Amino acid sequence: MDVSVIIPVKNGEKFLEETLDSILKQSAIEKSLKIEICIYDDGSDDRTYDICQKYSERSDIPFVIERGETSKGVGFAKNQAIFLSTGKYLCFNDADDISGVERISEQFALAEKLNTDFIFIGCNFDRLPEDSTKRYTSWANSIQSNDEIKNQVYTSHGPTIVAPTWFISRKLFNFVGKFQDIQKTGYPEDLEFYYRCLDIASCEFSKVPKSLVTYRYHMECASFGVHENSIWNLRFSRLREKYLKKWESFTIWSVGKQGKRFFKCLNEEEKSKVRGFCDIDNNKIKRGIHEEFDEKTRKITHRIPINHIRDAIPPFVVCVKLDLTGGDLENIIAEQKWKENIDLVYFG
Q: What's the CATH code of the domain at 292?
A: 3.40.50
- Do 42 and 187 share a domain, yes or no? yes
- Do 153 and 302 share a domain, yes or no? no
For the stretch 91-141, pLDDT in tens is 999 999 999 999 999 999 999 999 999 999 999 999 998 888 888 899 899
Q: Tell me if 15 is assigned to some domain.
A: yes
For the stretch 159-194, pLDDT in tens is 999 999 999 999 999 999 999 999 888 899 999 999
For the stretch 16-37, pLDDT in tens is 999 999 999 999 988 899 999 9
End-to-end C-alpha distance for the chain, whole angstroms:
41
Number of domains making up the chain: 2
Q: How confident is the model at residue 331 (pLDDT cuts 50, 70, 90)?
A: confident
The answer to whether 121 and 207 are in contact (CB under 8 A) is yes
What pLDDT does 224 receive?
58
What pLDDT does 193 receive?
98
Q: Tell me if 71 is assigned to some domain.
A: yes
- Do 223 and 274 share a domain, yes or no? no
What pLDDT does 54 receive?
97
174: left (phi over 0), alpha (psi -120 to 50) or beta: alpha
Q: Name, in order, each residue with C-beta under 8 angstroms of 132's C-beta and a sequence gap of 6 or more.
A: 217
d(CA 200, CA 184): 27
3-state SS string over the chain? CCEEEEEEECCCCCCHHHHHHHHHCCHHHHCCCCEEEEEEEECCCCCHHHHHHHHHHHCCCCEEEEEECCCCCHHHHHHHHHHCCCCCEEEECCCCCEECCCHHHHHHHHHHHHCCCCEEEEEEEEEECCCCCHHHHHHHHHCCCHHHHHHCCCCCCCCCCCHHHCEEEHHHHHHHCCCCCCCCCCCCHHHHHHHHHHCCCCCEEEEEEEEEEEEECCCCCHHHHCCHHHHHHHHHHHHHHHHHCCCCCEEEECCCHHHHHHHHHCCHHHHHCEEEEEECCHHHHHHCEEEEEECCCCEEEEEEEEEEHHHCCCCEEECCCCCCCCCHHHHHHHHHCCCECCCEEECC
- Do 273 and 150 share a domain, yes or no? no
- Do 303 and 218 share a domain, yes or no? no
What pLDDT does 220 receive?
64
What pLDDT does 273 receive?
97
Q: Tell me if 233 is assigned to some domain.
A: no
What pLDDT does 155 receive?
86
- Do 128 and 211 share a domain, yes or no? yes
Q: Tell me if 232 is assigned to some domain.
A: no
What pLDDT does 228 receive?
86
Mean pLDDT of the region 205-226 = 83
Domain of residue 317: give its range.
Answer: 247-346
Q: Name, in order, each residue with C-beta under 8 angstroms of 322's C-beta and a sequence gap of 6 or more.
A: 139, 155, 329, 330, 346, 348
With pLDDT > 70 as the criterion, what percentage of the chain qualifies? 96
- Out of 199, 227, 255, pick the residue that ends a domain: 227
pLDDT at residue 222 tops 80:
no
- Do 201 and 267 share a domain, yes or no? no
- Do 19 and 139 share a domain, yes or no? yes
d(CA 19, CA 38): 13
Q: Tell me if 239 is assigned to some domain.
A: no
- Out of 227, 256, 280, pick the residue that ends a domain: 227
- Do 217 and 272 share a domain, yes or no? no
With pLDDT > 90 as the criterion, what percentage of the chain qualifies? 78
The answer to whether 123 and 103 are in contact (CB under 8 A) is yes
For the stretch 141-160, pLDDT in tens is 999 988 899 989 998 888 99
- Do 30 and 104 share a domain, yes or no? yes
Q: What's the CATH code of the domain at 104?
A: 3.90.550.10
Q: Tell me if 68 is assigned to some domain.
A: yes
- Do 198 and 257 share a domain, yes or no? no
Q: Tell me if 238 is assigned to some domain.
A: no
Starting at the earlier edge strand, list the strands of the sheet with 316-318.
Answer: 289-294, 299-308, 274-279, 250-253, 316-318, 344-346
- Do 109 and 200 share a domain, yes or no? yes
- Out of 227, 262, 288, pick the residue that ends a domain: 227
Q: Tell me if 217 is assigned to some domain.
A: yes
What pLDDT does 82 receive?
98
